[in-house]
Amino acid sequence: MGIQIAPSILSADFANLERDILAVSDADWLHVDVMDGHFVPNLTLGLPVVERLAQVSPLPLDVHLMIDDPDRWAPRYAEIGATSVTFHLEAAADPRTIAADLRSMGARASCAIKPGTPVEDVLPLLDTLDMVLVMTVEPGFGGQAFMADMMPKLRTLRAAAEAAGRDLWLQADGGVARDTIQTVVEAGGDVLVAGSAIYGAADRGAEIGALRALGEAVHHR
Ligand SMILES: O=C(CO)[C@@H](O)[C@H](O)COP(=O)(O)O
């Protein structure tokens, strides 16, 4: 499996989402941050908008739910066409059932952990998951500084997946840019979310290409 570049539309122009989605069509996945103003101190978009994004996006939709009660809402995002649905472990009442529901609907089941959540908390769930998202900033906002001290979590997860013979996707989200992407890939990350790095670039396609080349140069799986 090669690395996947996933532009985060949190850094796009929300008045021109279709235009800004088409501007990153050289990427692999489209990362959509759903925030509810409760689980995180920011509010973005919800089901009706994501449903339309799924219809206009040429890329598979990678939905990151930063919301309370993912047990109720996560399957709804699979229903409207998300390819991956990530829920936060800290918000989930029954993560195994959420993951099973997502898989039964044909979506990739993914669980995220915030910087303060120990990686050990997600390890018992790996058999139910297709991806784990390691937050490399506090969730809520784009443009924050990358937390290199999250890399041991990626290493632990990659080692656990390999020991179990699993092709687990490992996503890193927050502060991923040209100067940090190789650190993430070396630690075992293979799905790289980048918001400000891509949307802040004058040529978004070129930035995606540059990030991919840097990541591929150190990717050994
Ligand atoms: O989930 C989040 C923030 O909570 C991210 O997806 C951000 O959108 C990443 O933005 P950058 O750090 O790449 O600017």
pLDDT tens digits for range 115-159: 999 999 999 999 999 999 999 999 999 999 999 999 999 999 999
HEC sequence for 41-85: CCECCCHHHHHHHHHHCCCCEEEEEECCCHHHHHHHHHHCCCCEE
179 is known to lie in a ligand binding site:
no
Residue 102, pLDDT score: 98
According to DSSP, the residues that pair with 6 across neighbouring strands are 193
Backbone region of residue 75 per phi and psi (left: phi > 0; alpha: psi in -120 to 50; beta: other values)? alpha
**Among residues 36, 7, 31, 150, which one has the least CA distance to residue 85?**
31
Query: Is the beta carbon of 142 within 6 A of some atom in ligand 1?
Result: yes
Domains of the chain: 4-217 (3.20.20.70)
Which residues belong to the active site?
Answer: 33, 173
CA of 141 to the centre of ligand 1 (A): 6
Whole-angstrom distance, CA of residue 23 vs CA of residue 59: 11
CA distances 212 to 2, 96, 219, Å, are: 9, 33, 10
pLDDT grade for 220, boundaries at 50, 70 and 90: confident
12 Cβ contact partners less than 8 Å away, ≥ 6 residues apart: 20, 21, 199
Residue located via tokens 């990151």: 64
Tell me the pTM. Answer: 0.98
pLDDT grade for 206, boundaries at 50, 70 and 90: very high
Residue 112, pLDDT score: 99
Q: What is the ipTM of this complex?
A: 0.98
Token pair recorded at residue 50: 């994501």
According to DSSP, the residues that pair with 110 across neighbouring strands are 86, 131
pLDDT tens digits for range 99-112: 999 999 999 999 99
- H or E stretch covering 131: strand 131-135
CA of 174 to the centre of ligand 1 (A): 5
CA of 137 to the centre of ligand 1 (A): 8
